[in-house]
């Protein structure tokens, strides 16, 4: 009997994960899918969708759902975290208040003012969930999809012995993009990457033994290609390696691209390429559209595709259940894996998965200038997580003071004023810090 429980079941990931599970060999019918969400309406939609996916694929899987975790967690071998905490209530605060201080975010869910306050509102809820996981299914493996990925994974590592791996799709997506940019079959492109979530570096990129970076730099001279990924191509040109997250996300994690309007206009495109306010102005609509899409799939108005996605959750399940070794990129504790990044932090490296669990692989050293950019982000995550774990308001403030984007735009006085204004606005949604 296999039991997989998804917390935050109303999320967009649920459909992909369950469809991917239908493609796991030898899984059979002895499977229970547990669904948990505090929104009863979205939970019901998720339950109907999962039941339809199972039935349409000919699986006699049991589906259980509840707004109360203790009714679902017991017996789970895999617990998938994809929660969103008070996002609808706070998305405008986290964009509009920093904007008053000149901090122009594109996404704002990992670093920056938005990332900090998402950490402050997400971690208390997640730590409560961890305590229930320890109580009801201590033998499970936690697969985390919730952003801020590094902060959520780091808080998990600091508070429980239960194995955890943070899962993103940026490595898969970016390696596929690089193959397209180079005009190469994906299977023929060889690469090696490491760093932290949303800032892993493709330090090697080869085809038939030849370095592909000279060709990529030549191709980026084409204005049409440059417009597809403006920030990442510019950073690669100067820093020597392509980074794993989109131009819009990445533009917020370093101090060079969003500190002046002329730089935003020069380097940042629209949408995910760096458009100011892209996430805040669109996410509530996307959330509603996702619910409507689920309803159409349940009714049969829209087909449910059964092709596997590039998400890692089912790959991990397959490797562990069938003892078929697989390689994924996961966010894990840095136990010397990347030698010039802090051991206290979370890094993103290749991990071997088999019947014995998750085995992160040794990466070695990043080029020092790339490691330095990762370290600044890791310090932010360490302070933000410590703020919640130690009920330390000053640590949260210090996290914002060393945030690359905020520091590039604001003085320390301005950062403190921005922090205080955000803290007051979000008091109903975050744990009170002292």
- Render pLDDT for 207-253 as a digit per residue (tens, 0 to 9): 999 999 999 999 999 999 999 999 999 999 999 999 999 999 999 99
Do 121 and 180 belong together in one domain? no
Do 293 and 363 belong together in one domain? no
What pLDDT sits at residue 209? Answer: 97
**Average pLDDT for residues 321-342, to the nearest whole number?**
97
Reported confidence tier of residue 410, pLDDT bands at 50, 70, 90? very high
Q: Which domain holds residue 325?
A: 89-112+167-276+311-434
Asked if residue 282 belongs to a domain, the reply is no
Asked if residue 261 belongs to a domain, the reply is yes
**Average pLDDT for residues 106-117, to the nearest whole number?**
97
Statement: residue 128 has pLDDT above 90: yes
Statement: residue 269 has pLDDT above 90: no
What pLDDT sits at residue 397? Answer: 98
Give the CA angle between residues 375, 364, 217 to the nearest 5°. 75
What pLDDT sits at residue 39? Answer: 96
What pLDDT sits at residue 346? Answer: 98
Do 410 and 355 belong together in one domain? yes
Reported confidence tier of residue 125, pLDDT bands at 50, 70, 90? very high
What pLDDT sits at residue 21? Answer: 98
Asked if residue 347 belongs to a domain, the reply is yes
What pLDDT sits at residue 225? Answer: 95
Q: What percent of the chain has pLDDT over 70?
A: 100
Asked if residue 406 belongs to a domain, the reply is yes
Average pLDDT, the chain: 97
Reported confidence tier of residue 270, pLDDT bands at 50, 70, 90? confident
Statement: residue 57 has pLDDT above 90: yes
What pLDDT sits at residue 84? Answer: 96
Do 332 and 368 belong together in one domain? yes
**Average pLDDT for residues 192-199, to the nearest whole number?**
98
What pLDDT sits at residue 431? Answer: 81
**Average pLDDT for residues 341-346, to the nearest whole number?**
96
Q: How many domains does the chain divide into?
A: 2
Do 152 and 206 belong together in one domain? no
What pLDDT sits at residue 401? Answer: 98
What's the CATH code of the domain at 415?
3.90.110.10
What pLDDT sits at residue 289? Answer: 94
**Average pLDDT for residues 281-293, to the nearest whole number?**
93
Do 226 and 171 belong together in one domain? yes
What pLDDT sits at residue 30? Answer: 94
Asked if residue 431 belongs to a domain, the reply is yes
**Average pLDDT for residues 271-286, to the nearest whole number?**
93
Q: What b/e string do you get for 46-71 counting C-beta neighbours within 10 Å, with b at 16 or more?
A: bbbbbbbbbeeeebebebebbeebee
What's the CATH code of the domain at 23?
3.40.50.720
Give residue-wise pLDDT tens across range 367-380: 999 999 999 999 99
Per 3-state DSSP, what percentage of the chain is helix, strand, and coil (rounded to 5)?
A: 50, 15, 35
What pLDDT sits at residue 415? Answer: 98
Do 211 and 335 belong together in one domain? yes
What pLDDT sits at residue 37? Answer: 98
| Strands 210-211, 141-144: pairing kind | unpaired
Statement: residue 12 has pLDDT above 90: no
Return the HEC string of the chain.
CEEEEEECCCCCHHHHHHHHHHCCCCCCCCEEEEEECCCHHHHHHHHHHHHHHHHHCCCCCEEEEECCHHHCCCCCCEEEECCCCCHHHHHHHHHHHHHHCCCCCCCCCCCHHHHHHHHHHHHHHHHHHHHHHHHHCCCCEEEECCCCHHHHHHHHHHHCCCCEEECCCHHHHHHHHHHHHHCCCHHHEEEEEEEECCEEEEEEEEECCEECHHHHHHHCCCHHHHHHCHHHHHHHHHHCCEECCCHHHHCCCCCCCCCCHHHHHHHCCCHHHCCCCHHHHHHHHHHHHHHHHHHHHHHCCCCCCCCCCCCCHHHHHHHHHHCCCEEEEEEEECCCCECCCCCCCEEEEEEEEECCEEEECCCECCCHHHHHHHHHHHHHHHHHHHHHHCCCHHHHHHHHHHCHHHHHHCCHHHHHHHHHHHHHHCHHHCCCCC
What pLDDT sits at residue 97? Answer: 98
Q: Say whether the peptide bond before residue 109 is cis (omega within 30 degrees of 0).
A: no
Do 178 and 144 belong together in one domain? no
Q: Is 398 among the catalytic positions?
A: no
Asked if residue 140 belongs to a domain, the reply is yes
Kindly name the residue from 169, 207, 249, 434 that is annotated as catalytic.
169
Q: Name, in order, each residue with C-beta under 8 angstroms of 184's C-beta and a sequence gap of 6 or more.
A: 207, 212
What pLDDT sits at residue 300? Answer: 94
Reported confidence tier of residue 402, pLDDT bands at 50, 70, 90? very high
Do 205 and 151 belong together in one domain? no
What pLDDT sits at residue 272? Answer: 87
């Amino acid at each position: 009997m296999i039991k997989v429980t998804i917390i935050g079941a109303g999320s967009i990931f649920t459909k992909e994960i369950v469809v991917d599970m239908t493609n796991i060999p030898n899984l059979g019918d002895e499977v229970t899918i547990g669904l948990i969400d505090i929104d009863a309406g979205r939970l019901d939609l998720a339950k109907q969708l999962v039941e339809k996916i199972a039935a349409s694929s000919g699986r006699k899987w049991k589906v259980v759902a509840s707004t109360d975790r203790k009714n679902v967690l017991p017996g789970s071998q895999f617990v998938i975290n994809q929660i969103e905490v008070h996002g609808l209530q706070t998305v405008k605060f986290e964009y509009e208040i920093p904007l008053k201080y000149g901090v122009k975010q594109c996404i704002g869910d990992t670093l920056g003012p938005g990332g900090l306050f998402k950490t402050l509102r997400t971690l208390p809820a997640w730590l409560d969930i961890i305590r229930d996981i320890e109580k009801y299914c201590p033998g499970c493996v936690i697969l985390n999809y919730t952003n801020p990925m590094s902060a959520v994974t780091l808080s998990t590592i600091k508070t429980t012995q239960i194995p955890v791996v943070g899962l993103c799709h940026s490595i898969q997506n970016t390696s596929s993009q690089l193959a397209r940019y180079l005009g190469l079959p994906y299977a023929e492109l060889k690469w090696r990457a490491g760093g932290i979530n949303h800032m892993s570096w493709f330090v090697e990129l080869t085809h038939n033994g030849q370095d592909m970076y000279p060709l990529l730099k030549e191709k980026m001279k084409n204005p049409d290609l440059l417009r597809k990924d403006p920030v990442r191509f510019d950073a690669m040109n100067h820093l020597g390696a392509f980074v794993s997250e989109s131009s819009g996300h990445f533009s917020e994690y370093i101090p060079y691209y969003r500190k002046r309007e002329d730089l935003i206009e020069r380097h940042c495109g629209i949408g995910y390429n760096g458009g100011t306010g892209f996430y805040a102005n669109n996410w509530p609509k996307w959330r509603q559209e996702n619910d409507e899409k689920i309803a159409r799939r349940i009714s049969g108005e829209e087909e449910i595709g059964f092709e596997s996605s590039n998400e890692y959750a089912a790959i991990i399940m397959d490797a562990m259940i069938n003892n078929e070794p697989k390689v994924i990129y996961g966010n894990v504790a840095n136990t010397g894996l990347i030698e010039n990044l802090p051991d206290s932090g979370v890094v993103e490296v290749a991990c071997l998965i088999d019947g014995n669990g998750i085995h992160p692989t040794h990466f070695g050293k990043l080029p020092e200038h790339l490691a330095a950019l990762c370290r600044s982000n890791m310090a932010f995550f360490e302070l933000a997580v410590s703020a919640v774990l130690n009920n330390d308001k000053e640590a949260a403030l210090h996290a914002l003071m060393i945030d690359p984007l905020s520091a590039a735009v604001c003085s320390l006085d301005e950062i403190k004023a921005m922090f205080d204004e955000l803290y007051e606005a979000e008091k109903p949604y975050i744990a009170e810090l002292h």
